A and B are shown apart, each in its own frame.
Chain A
Amino acid sequence: MVEEAKIAEIIKKTTPLTEATFYILVALKEPLHGYGVMQKIGEISHNRVQLGPGTLYGALSNLQSLGLIESVSEVGSERRKLYCMTETGRRVAEHEVTRFEELARHGRILLGLRGIK
């Protein structure tokens, strides 16, 4: 129960996430390094979401200090850091997905659009 209260507090503190931060967080369901995050986001959004290195680095260090992602290990001779979503990070991401769905549903109702259901 204490754990739940703590997560609720973290959600309150960290959301709403910016678009860039949200994409980076959900891309890290599996461990990736910075460049991998960038590739994955480009792939899934058909290159609509493009991140510059300053934004990517800033969001990664910010998410890390909030405890939503963690660095798992370093790979290769260049010692690239691998990042991965934490359990808390997953809860925050799920909270955001639910919120987006609600926004979309309400938008459809108010605009009289036919939803995909």
Chain B
Amino acid sequence: MKKNNKETKTVFKAIFAWEDEKEEQWLENMAAEGWRLESVAPFLYKFHQMAPEEVVYRLDYKNTLDKDYADYSTIFRDLGWELVARMSNWHYYRINPQNTQVPEIYNSNRAKSQKYRRLLVGLLPLVVIYVTLFNPALNIFGSNASSTGTLFSKVIEIFLAAFLLFFVYVVIRLWSKIKKLESQSKE
């Protein structure tokens, strides 16, 4: 890839896990303006310029360490979906809607809700890490609830508390999304 070329650009955009449909729409709009997605890092999207195209983007969450990951990938590829980018376990797929009659990766809301369930499971390790770091019994940062805590440990504590609040918020958003999809299921 040519670096520092005018034809690529990196865009910062704060989109969160429960806003994946908004993200798909945004990527489709970028493609319509001639910007094709190249790679994704947290909140950073790299595009390169090309002729405007009408494509469909879909995001899926799948743990790449799963035993059946190869089968999963094969099915997507065989059905014509191109894996454009991957960020951790988030997969960015693209298809030209003319090449398929169903430019959707999930046909039913019930199947789609499974994606968010996998994501919730994927977030579990964070809980383990959090409990370990923040557990007073382990006392990793040496702050034993008295005034002996250093400024550094205070900052860490505040950061961890903020993170916990945000994390709870993420889980609630995802959970309500799962429940909504399941209740809308016609099957």
Contact = CB atoms under 8 A, between A and B. Distances in A.
A115 interface: no
A18 B110 contact: yes
A61 B86 CA distance: 22
Interface residues of A, number: 24
Interface in B36-76: 60, 68, 70-72, 74-76
Contact of A52 (B68, B74, B105): B105
A81 B76 contact: no
Contacts of A33: 74, 78
Given A34-B71, A81-B71, A52 B107 contact: yes
B144 interface: no
Interface in B62-114: 68, 70-72, 74-76, 78-79, 81, 101-102, 104-108, 110-112, 114
B74 A54 contact: no
Contacts, number: 68
Interface residues of B, number: 24
Contacts of B70: 79
Contacts of A50: 101-102, 107
Contacts of A61: 68
Interface in A61-112: 61, 78-81
Interface string B158-169: 000000000000
Contacts of B105: 52-55
B79 A38 contact: yes
Given A19-B187, A20-B111, A52-B106, A78 B74 contact: yes
Contacts of A55: 105-108, 111
A57 B114 CA distance: 11
What are the nearest 5 A-B pairs in CB distance?
A: A54-B105, A35-B78, A34-B75, A50-B102, A52-B105
